[in-house]
Structure formats: C-alpha cells, structure tokens
Chains A and B, each alone.
Chain A
Amino acid sequence: MPELIVRKTATACEEIFHEYGPAPDRPLRRAAALAVVENPFAGRYEPDIQPFMDDLRPLGLTMARRLVDMLGGPGEIEGYGKGALIGEAGELEHGALWHAPGGYAMREAIGGTRAIVPSSKKVAGVGARLDVPIAHVNAAYVRSHFDSMELGLADAPRRHEMLLALVMTTGARVHSRSGGLEAWEIKGEDGLR
C-alpha cells in the first residue's frame, strides 16, 4: 500500500460556559482532531480499497489519544463522533474507510465504549464545513448528549485529499432539559440504553 501522506493536522477545543441560562458547575468541553491526508484512490475507480483502513489505524489512534489528553483523560469522555470530507477527485465510499480505524481508535483510547459512533461524511470542496454528530459513548439513546460540532479547514480537502475528523465531548448540552433517557439511568450493556 502507498505511504500515508499527512499534509496537515489540526485540533479544535471548545469550552462552553453557558448559553445565557444557569451556568453548570463544570463547563461542557468539545474537542476535535483533524487530519488532512492524501487520498490514494483519487481520480479513478479502485475496486479493492479496504487495505487502506489498516494504513489509517495508527493515525486514528494518535488522534484519539490526543483528544483524550486534551480533555483530561479517559474518565472525562462522555460523548463522541466522527466524520470525513472527501475531496472532489475522490468518492463517498473512500470516506467510509474511516469508520473502522476512527471508531475503534476512540474505543481503545477511551477504554471499551459500548455505543455506536455516530458519523457524517460527504464529498466536498476546499473550505467545506462538516457537522459531526455526537452521542453518548455507552448508550446511544441518552438524549442530553446528542450534539454536534462544526469543523473544517480553509485549505482542505483539496481534490486528491480527505479530511478525517474525530470528536469527543465531556458531557451533556450545556442547558440540557429535553428529557428522555438520562446518562445516570443507563445500563451501558447493549450500547443503546
């Protein structure tokens, strides 16, 4: 397989104190790690693309560990999500290669999470923004943790690139009060409740 070529990496971290309601004791923090990589399949139809998932695995782990560090350790992480922007010479399917290396890297870095990692992906031009969905790490139905983070870089993804993203959060929306399954009620066994 071709060498993984990383042009650029970036991180974003938001600390949300309030949204003009009562400020919680601990602000909500959201962090994202981004990597701009060369798309080895850009410009042609390549039937066999799965080996590239293995090439992405170390990058995924580096990004996931970086996020855990930024947010203060595995015990702090309550929500996660992932996403990909594929430059226009690529194909939506190339973005799907990020599911396994991105998702399993976060599970490993946080330590055996149960819930599916919500995701978004699209083919887009330079400067595009991606809304990465976020949900609770152990129970997908926890309503307070449904959130998203908008990401993007002014100079990516170029035609032959992919922008890969991982996102983690430390808790519920800052003024969560829409009911549903609460984080303290979950069993955390089946990844749903």
Chain B
Amino acid sequence: MSANIRKIAIFVEETHREAGQRIDPPTRKAVAAAVIENPFAGAYVEDLSPLMDIGAELGGLLGEKCVAALGITAGEAESYGKAAMVGENGELEHAAAILHPKLGAPLRKAVEKGAALVSSSKKMGSPGQVLDVPLGHKDAAYVRSHFDGVEIRLNDAPRAGEILVAVAVTDSGRPLPRVGGLQAGQIKGEDGLR
C-alpha cells in the first residue's frame, strides 16, 4: 500500500540574529510534512505492516524534500528528527508503525550516513495543533549543540481520518551553543553515540 497523500508542506527557517548577536552563516532548519489518509481510522487492525511500508516511503520522500529545501548536499545535513500526529479516529500505535520500523533507513540515505538514532515524538491531535519535532545530531547522539526542535502545524490537518507525518533536517546546531559537552568536531560517528 502506498500513501494517499492529501498534501505536502515544507517549512524552512533561518536565524540571522539571536540575543543581539549576528549569526553568520545563519542556522537553518527544514521540516517537511505529509498529510496522509489513515487506512486504519475507525477500526482496530492487528497487522500494521501497511503503515510500516508507508513509513519507508515517507522517510525517503520527506528527507529528500528537506535536503532540497535547504539547498545542501546530503552529506551537509547535520541533524534530523521525525514525528507524527494521528487524527482522532486513529490510534497512537499508527504513528509508531509509521515512524519506527522502516522510516529511518531511507531517511538516512537522504542525509548520507546517519549513525545516530533518529529522535522522535508522536501524539494524537486535530487540525491546527502543533507537532514538535525533536532534533539530534545525525551521527552522534551526544553532540550537545545539536539538541533542538522545530515545530510544524497545519491549520487543516490532521483531520479525523488522517495522519500528519513530519521529518526535520538541519545544516547546523543551535544559533549560540555554549553549554559544552561533546562537540560536532570531536565525534567519531561510529557507534551513533559519540
């Protein structure tokens, strides 16, 4: 089963100043979201594998959209995240089926490598609600400068029988990182942690 996509939205933000300091080059985040029909809305279905396949489809599609929107090469991506919001006739488990089993591999291909866990969030929601997508460094989860988040919200989604699926990619960390910890320049990028 491939996803019945009603719409795709892509949001990019660039921060040029923070606390009066110039940020040059600006930090940049992209989040791409697909609004899809939930094939299992309104019923309890044991086998969620069709949603897992949809996750694989959307991981590649949305990851590539983010990289394209940032105008970077795949290798220039620095952090990523994923999230889903399920409309009221669905079930939280539907978000899990999309996000966890199969979405990561094609997303990693879109951002090159991606040794680290893709941080995630999920919730039930309604049109216009905010979905916060967590962000972490794509190759080393402990890089403190890249812990961040970006929100997505669409006034018309998710409707009761829909799921909003979002992937976020950045080419940078926070604008003025200064809380120490592991630095992006120090990572090995082998075990996904450091």
**Which of A's residues lie within 8 Å of B, judged by CB?**
5-20, 129, 150, 153-154
A13-B69, A17-B8 known; 7 new pairs, CB 8 Å cut-off, are: A8-B13, A10-B13, A11-B11, A11-B69, A17-B7, A19-B6, A20-B6
- How many angstroms between the C-alpha atoms of A20 and B6 in the bound complex? 7
Closest 7 CB pairs of A and B: A10-B13, A150-B155, A7-B17, A16-B7, A14-B9, A15-B8, A13-B10
Q: Which of A6, A13, A18, A20 contacts B9 (CB 8 A)?
A: A13
Q: Which of B6, B9, B151 contacts A12 (CB 8 A)?
A: B9
- Could you give 20 example pairs across A and B, Cβ below 8 Å? A7-B15, A7-B16, A7-B17, A8-B16, A9-B26, A11-B10, A11-B12, A11-B13, A12-B10, A12-B11, A12-B12, A15-B8, A15-B9, A17-B5, A18-B6, A19-B6, A20-B6, A129-B155, A150-B155, A154-B151
Give chain A residues whose Cβ lies under 8 Å from the Cβ of B7. 14-17
Give chain B residues whose Cβ lies under 8 Å from the Cβ of A129. 155
Whether B190 sits at the interface, judged by CB under 8 Å, is: no
Residue of A at shortest CB range from B155?
Answer: A150
Whether B76 sits at the interface, judged by CB under 8 Å, is: no
Give chain B residues whose Cβ lies under 8 Å from the Cβ of A19. 6
Whether B93 sits at the interface, judged by CB under 8 Å, is: no
Residue of B at shortest CB range from A148?
Answer: B155
Give chain A residues whose Cβ lies under 8 Å from the Cβ of B151. 154
Chain A nearest Cβ from B147, distance in angstroms: 17
- How many angstroms between the C-alpha atoms of A12 and B69 in the bound complex? 10
- How many angstroms between the C-alpha atoms of A18 and B155 in the bound complex? 16
B14 and A9 form a contact (CB under 8 A): yes
Would you list which residues of chain B between 10 and 62 have a CB under 8 Å from chain A? 10-18, 26, 37
A5 and B155 form a contact (CB under 8 A): no
B6 and A6 form a contact (CB under 8 A): no
Residue of A at shortest CB range from B15?
Answer: A8
- How many angstroms between the C-alpha atoms of A96 and B2 in the bound complex? 47
Residue of B at shortest CB range from A15?
Answer: B8
- How many angstroms between the C-alpha atoms of A94 and B13 in the bound complex? 24
Give chain A residues whose Cβ lies under 8 Å from the Cβ of B12. 10-12
Residue of A at shortest CB range from B5?
Answer: A17
B17 and A6 form a contact (CB under 8 A): yes
Chain B nearest Cβ from A176, distance in angstroms: 16
- How many angstroms between the C-alpha atoms of A153 and B7 in the bound complex? 20
Residue of B at shortest CB range from A13?
Answer: B10
Residue of B at shortest CB range from A6?
Answer: B16
**Known contacts A150-B155, A154-B151; A8 and B6 CB within 8 A of each other:** no
Residue of B at shortest CB range from A12?
Answer: B11
Give chain A residues whose Cβ lies under 8 Å from the Cβ of B9. 12-15
- How many angstroms between the C-alpha atoms of A9 and B23 in the bound complex? 12
- How many angstroms between the C-alpha atoms of A153 and B16 in the bound complex? 15
Give chain A residues whose Cβ lies under 8 Å from the Cβ of B37. 20
- How many angstroms between the C-alpha atoms of A45 and B28 in the bound complex? 35
Q: Which of A9, A14, A154 contacts B8 (CB 8 A)?
A: A14
- How many angstroms between the C-alpha atoms of A9 and B26 in the bound complex? 10
A9 and B155 form a contact (CB under 8 A): no
- How many angstroms between the C-alpha atoms of A7 and B17 in the bound complex? 5
